[in-house]
């Protein structure tokens, strides 16, 4: 009987350990499904969920928010000249710089490659968005230490405002993307 109780306790302990392991794996999988594996930032899926929530909340509260689309200028040259490991290092540094340029209540996400986006909640007008865009440009202008030197990156930034430029996530995203391409067409770093 004593051996049976001991075996039962060991079995219960193994079940608890395995349950904990599975819970940790599930949390990690949930994180990976909604976050970029390189930067740890929210990914496109989570960004669109937050954008959808922002639209719903702003409709109800009549508040404005902005969507910024950020594309690094000539980033392909970084990968081609220095390799993908350096490119990844630069992307992580850009993610950190963008995160440091926003309020805790805002969202920054990596969409893919060298494309990032930000949702700025509770903005009053276009001037508020321009201030943040200048702050982003200043943060990105800081050299990124790589290997035996440093690199400086620039970005082209486009913005859309709710409700002026759209009242649904797709329209806002499209307008911000178009504005970013307009900025790139004006000479980049705009």
Active site residues: 114
CA 162 – CA 166 distance, rounded (Å):
6
- Give the pairing type, strands 115-121 and 65-72: antiparallel
Helices 44-61, 169-185: axis angle to 10 degrees equals 110
User: What does the radius of gyration of the chain's CA atoms come to, in whole angstroms?
Assistant: 22
CA 18 – CA 50 distance, rounded (Å):
33
Q: CA torsion angle for 179, 78, 109, 144 (degrees, to 10)?
A: -110
CA 93 – CA 90 distance, rounded (Å):
5
CB 123 within 8 A of CB 68: no
């Amino acid at each position: 009987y004593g051996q049976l109780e001991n075996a039962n306790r060991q079995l219960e302990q193994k079940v608890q350990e395995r349950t904990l392991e599975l819970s940790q794996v599930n949390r990690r999988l949930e994180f990976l499904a909604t976050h970029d594996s390189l930067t740890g930032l929210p990914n496109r899926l989570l960004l669109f969920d937050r954008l959808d929530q922002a639209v719903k909340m702003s409709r109800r509260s009549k508040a404005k928010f902005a969507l910024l689309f950020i594309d690094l200028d000539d980033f392909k040259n970084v990968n081609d000249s220095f390799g993908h490991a350096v490119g990844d290092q630069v992307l992580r540094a850009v993610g950190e710089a963008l995160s440091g340029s926003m309020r805790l209540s805002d969202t920054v996400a990596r969409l893919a490659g060298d494309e990032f986006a930000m949702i700025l909640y509770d903005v009053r007008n276009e001037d508020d968005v321009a201030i943040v865009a200048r702050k982003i440009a200043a943060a990105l202008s800081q050299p990124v230490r790589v290997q035996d030197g440093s690199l400086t990156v620039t970005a082209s930034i486009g913005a859309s405002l709710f409700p002026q430029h759209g009242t649904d996530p797709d329209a806002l995203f499209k307008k911000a993307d178009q504005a970013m391409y307009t900025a790139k067409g004006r000479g980049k770093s705009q």
